[in-house]
Structure 1
């Protein structure tokens, strides 16, 4: 199912930039775009939307005023040319705050934050949510890929980039391992070495100094060993 969104900005050029970026993401659908925030407010009263890309400084009604008028607002990503509004925006629990001009990479990071926010809102039957839920969008081979968390076996640091190993593919992404670690659900993934993050569900066996996933043996770093072994033994 696609995530539905609308764009509210009094600058048509800014709307087109966001539309163009979102066209590269298969799981998003732009349902409408508005240069008039009053009309946007009317649309939101009649239609349920997952996400708003919202400018702040607009004539007649500001983005903050529009957001405050909604009784049950959807997720919001702010898009603005002004840095000064960030504290107020995050006090209103927006997903992210994008400064214009908005690059594709920066919008992608915001979209990943949106997915994390949606996942954290999802009710669970117990204290152990379904660890197979969720995905991440990554850029590799000049394309964007939707990778399910349960398809990832492990992630490897290659100095200048990281390599995501899945059951059928390898994706090379120009990102640091520490940055990727923050995007992964901690109950499912675990750092075992400064160069490796593993999917706990993919472990075939482990010893005191290593884990095996498929035919790959991954050595634990001394810094991580005690925590890793404790976690693995608790999961038995």
Structure 2
């Protein structure tokens, strides 16, 4: 199955399962690890938690501690907070 990266809202790792969530509200299970997705996806995507990669173009609201995408609130973990802040600030400046 082929999926346009622009349609991906976020990638979620839940125990041994990884789910691709789309803007259309669909979710697809994949055997590819989240770390592999992180290297395969382009610069629109940002790792904000050990369990989440988000499509920055799909973020509805951004706060220092979380982002909101399609009604879902996803925490930005401390480990990724500074890198997330830098990338999101840079993208906002370039928009």
| TM-score after normalising by structure 1 | 0.38
Instruction: Find out whether 1:175 has 2:45 as its counterpart.
Output: no
Q: Cα distance, 1:234 vs. partner?
A: 1.5
1:233 Cα offset (Å)? 1.2
* TM norm structure 2: 0.91
Q: Kindly state the Cα deviation for residue 174 of structure 1 after the two structures are TM-superposed.
A: 1.7
> Which structure ranks higher in relative contact order (CA pairs < 8 Å, sequence separation ≥ 6)?
2
- Find the counterpart in structure 1 of residue 50 from structure 2: 194
Query: Of the candidates 82, 86, 89, which is equivalent to residue 226 of structure 1?
Result: 82
Count of residue pairs the alignment pairs up: 91
Aligned match for 1:154, one of 10, 15, 19: 10
Q: 1:208 aligns with which of 52, 59, 64?
A: 64
In the TM superposition, what whole-angstrom CA distance separates every residue of 1:29-57 from its partner, at most 9, and x where no partner exists? xxxxxxxxxxxxxxxxxxxxxxxxxxxxx
1:231 positional shift: 1.0
CA contact (8 A) 2:23 2:70 kept: no
State the Cα distance separating 1:175 from its structure 2 match.
2.3
CA distance, structure 1, for counterparts of residue 17 and residue 70 of structure 2 = 23
1:123-178, CA deviations, whole angstroms, 9 ceiling, x for partnerless residues?
A: xxxxxxxxxxxxxxxxxxxxxx1100100000000111200000221001122110
The gaps in structure 1 that reach 5 residues or longer are: 1-144
Structure 1 ranges of 4+ moved more than 2 A = none
Q: Which has the larger radius of gyration?
A: 1
